[in-house]
Amino acid sequence: MSLEGFEAATFSHEGTTRPIYRRGSGPGVVIVHEIPGITPEVAHFGRRVADEGFTAVLPSLFGTPGKEFSGSYVAGQMARACISREFHVLARRASSPITDFLRALAQQVHRECGGPGVGAVGMCLTGNFALSMMLDEVVMAPVLSQPSLPFGISQDHRAAIHLSDDDLDVVKQRTRNGLCVLGLRFTQDPLVPAERFERLRRELGDGFEAIEIDSSKGNPYDIPAMAHSVLTKDLVDEEGHPTRAALDRVLTLFHERLLPT
């Protein structure tokens, strides 16, 4: 299935081949979609990134590109991801194997698009993948949007970041060298516990910039308590709205790191 306005291709790495959708020109930004797949909202975010002067690259890891969001669609794709060998949804101190493929894709995007490096956006199930992608130095602008792994089945899982201790040391060194990790979440989102962002603050210090959008009862913008997808489904694209401010900050980060003056 094609996405309107995107060029379709494939990318292969160590026996794994996935569809890739690309739009724009300039330094690359790898956008790793959320459950259930590249929905119209995810594609729209890709267009926004491309319109800012970047090459938006969307790998399709599960689901049907362009298919509308629905509860049954989410449930089906979540079940598939949970039993897939490429996704380790309960791993506290290890990354999902699919991140090897994503790092290789980032390298290829950098070779093709140039610039000082590439951006990486993970969402929901893939949110923490942007951390794993930082093991490759071409990733210069990592964004963790509602990072939901590992699933918070215990206190330890709620504070975990889906990364091995050795890999975390690499990430910490990169932030000490000036790299910024941007994290986005709604405050009442049960899939992204507050403990996870607290852990990232402890580990990364000033290298972690958190945007936590108030979704508590009676919040000024009537954001529902179950709001989850900051940049896509739950985005309110209006000046002054906190989700729009989060989107603007993501785009600004890309400009700062990938289009330096």
Domains of the chain: 7-258 (3.40.50.1820)
The full length of the chain comes to: 261
Query: Mean pLDDT, to the nearest integer, of 152-158?
Result: 95
Q: Which of 42, 13, 96 has its CA nearest to residue 23?
A: 42
Query: Mean pLDDT, to the nearest integer, of 101-115?
Result: 97
Indicate the burial class of 241 (C-beta count within 10 angstroms; 0-12, 13-18, 19 or more).
middle
- Check: CB of residue 66 under 8 Å from CB of residue 33: no
Distances (CA, A) of 240 to 114, 230, 236, 243, 254: 34, 15, 10, 9, 21
Each residue of 238-258: pLDDT tens digit?
999 999 999 999 999 999 999
In this prediction the pTM is: 0.96
Each residue of 15-67: pLDDT tens digit?
999 999 999 999 999 999 999 999 999 999 999 999 999 999 999 999 999 99
- Check: CB of residue 165 under 8 Å from CB of residue 206: no
Please give the pLDDT value at position 2.
64
User: How many Cβ atoms sit within 10 Å of the Cβ of residue 111?
Assistant: 10
Helix axes 165-176, 194-204, angle to 10 degrees: 60
Least confident span in 8-12, 54-58, 83-87, 180-184: 83-87
Each residue of 55-91: pLDDT tens digit?
999 999 999 999 999 999 999 999 988 888 899 999 9
